[in-house]
Structure 1
């Protein structure tokens, strides 16, 4: 007897592939040519933001009700993947915009949504996410940032670490303990902090090993007074909203990893087809063909896992926490392997910051 099962498969639509085709052309023309300079100088890739904004793809996930294009989770992943293929730093523009606004989409009331989502959708502002702290990375419930109620206002004190696009973004979702004596994990609340709030500032940018064009800085909150109307969700629900946010946004980092790996594979393939040794292109050497086949195979497996996780995110499936984490972990591991192998395939050209080979 033949067994049957309901496989929750994704299928990219014509619209998905049209987004990919249009974006691939724009990335090749307007983003990739500046990637090396962005990495060298650490400057925020404003040119990439402008190019994505012109396509309404700088924050594609924002619903149409808030002036966005309402792209689904898979389309958003395709956007991030294609941008990362040309410039990893630039891919964090749509990725971080989703990360910063997702707590609002999941938990905020209509007043907060109407106030903050349209400016992001219009490209007038970016949105970052303030969860981690130096002493509370994976153990988010151990955070030390505090929010004290004073009438109809909140006073925030503390710091957040490793915040992507900090200083460039206008808005920040910040998690803070609102009941120090309350039950651990149920005593945290989310708020929107604005760049211009008195007492709110940033550290100097971190000196990172890569993705230099996306500034990573600490947030400093020194008696930052904000109205209760900037609270995201009920008091005490902050950590629950934060963890759900991560379930939906880990896949975007998986998509970024897939794009980085694809860009590395593309570059390596172009090189081995051009580079000649012993009278023929090194792409004809069987040992290298095996290596390239393994890279392509693992990359495609990572892509498929990211897309499946994106489909689960769109449906808000119960098993999304597993698939989102698995997609991020596996795709990141594959990106490390593929990029390392690409360096090997490029030989000396893969180990120099400048090369006579222009591929």
Structure 2
């Protein structure tokens, strides 16, 4: 199921085996929340060697609905993607997006943010829904309290999350499908609660473990402390997933802390604002220096956008509000994320992690400072 190939310090390189193929780790998972990575086709994802994509149970339950996807042959066939898919349980969205919700010990009754229609989602329903979707990796249904959260509320939330996790495990065992099931550790800013959460989840037994409740508005130093508190309590023979983590430098730092799997909407979200991701930090395509610049977005980048088009052309498309401009930057950004993580994996396998990561982070942060000076 998961094979750890090599470690370099805490950084890890491995392979996750799924029903739809192998996923080399560390890995970045492009987010296809509503059965689509925004502006990017499955063939383009294959071209950029994306090994796995992410879908979201909440959004797919709300629209188009499980019955439609089931009738269309499952999520893989519905979205035209033949590789592995990981689905979130929908818990985070229920607690953050749903307009009206009523939580009980059994789950959450909520109104759709789309049309107000009422739905109920609990641990059993989340597992049943993900099995209907047919994802390769499913996530347990959990409660993700907002940040900040006081200790008493967080402790009560953990009790519920752990009980729901056990129900998820039992429901998946009852169904008997070969999908992998990951548990989600919570605990907020409280290191001892994070340790307790992961220890409780291991008593239940999962195919992988996620660190949840990070990158939810807290300062970066608290996010890193949450990972540091969690890492010693994560089993070495299971994949480790940090949910929703976004910036390239953060991902590289997390790999160095022993984490394996990452997802974020940031590459396509910032592209829609005309921002390109580079190894010297984010760059706006609206920069005046791009107006007559014949160079690609990033020199040496092998993505479709950089191999065919100039900065001047990309800027023209963005200013003219042409959809191609957003697509080209999205393609570039996703390629950049995927290539960065591939390079990280190669560095671990080659015993060069410290050298590679130090160079990457130094270049990234120096570039960010230089761009701040330009803005000033």
With structure 2 as the length reference, what TM-score do the two structures score?
A: 0.28
More helix by share: 1
State the TM-score, normalized to the length of structure 1.
0.28
